[in-house]
Amino acid sequence: MASQTTKQYTVLTSSTVAFTVCFMIWMMFAVLGIPIKQKLGLNETEFGILAATPVLSGSLIRVPLGIWTDRFGGRIVLFALMLACVVPIYVMQYATAYWHFLVIGLFVGLAGGSFSVGTPYVARWFRKDQQGMAMGVFGAGNAGSSLTKLIAPSIIAAWGWQMVPTVYAAIMLVTALLFWFFSYSDPKHLVSSKVTLGEQLALMKDPAVLRYCQYYSVVFGGYVALALWMTKYYVGEYGFDLKHAAFLAAAFSLPGGVLRAVGGWLSDKFGAYKVTWAVMWICWVAFFILSYPQTDFVIQTTKGPQTFHIGLNATMFTVLLFGVGVAMAVGKASVFKFISDEFPTNIGAVSGVVGLAGGLGGFLLPIMFGALLDLTGVRTSAFMLLYGCVCVSLVWMHFSFKPLARQQQAQLASA
Q: What domains are there in the chain, each with its CATH number?
A: 4-414 (1.20.1250.20)
Distance CA 121, CA 135 (A): 10
Quick: pLDDT tens for 88-130. Answer: 999 999 999 999 999 999 999 999 989 889 888 998 888 877 8
- The predicted model gives 56-80 an average pLDDT of 88
pLDDT band at 406 (very low <50, low <70, confident <90, very high): low
**What confidence score (pLDDT) does residue 173 get?**
97
pLDDT at 355 exceeding the cut of 80: no
CB of 387 closer than 8 Å to CB of 292: no
pLDDT: is 167 or 190 the higher one? 167
Residue 405 has pLDDT above 60, yes or no: no
- pLDDT for 170 equals 97
What's the pLDDT at 1? 59
Least confident range of 23-27, 74-78, 256-260? 256-260
DSSP class of residue 291?
Answer: T
Compute the average pLDDT of residues 19-24. Answer: 94
Give residue 178's pLDDT band: very low, low, confident or very high (50, 70, 90). very high
d(CA 10, CA 6): 6
- The set of residues, in sequence order, having a beta carbon less than 8 Å from that of 213 and lying 6+ positions away, is 353, 354, 356, 357, 358
Average pLDDT over residues 343-362: 78
pLDDT greater than 70 at residue 193: no
Of residues 414 and 88, more confidence is placed in 88
**Looking only at Cα atoms, what is the longest distance across the chain?**
85
Average pLDDT over residues 241-270: 85
CA 97 to CA 183: how far, in whole Å? 40
3 state DSSP class of 302: coil
Residue 224 phi, psi dihedral angles, 5° rounding: -60, -45
Q: Looking at this protein, which amino acid is placed at residue 149?
A: K
Average of pLDDT values for 214-237? 91
Torsions phi, psi for 307 (to 5 deg): -100, 135
Q: Which residue has the higher pLDDT, 67 or 381?
A: 381
Q: In which element (H, E) is residue 297 found? A: strand 295-301
Of 225 and 262, which is predicted with more confidence? 225
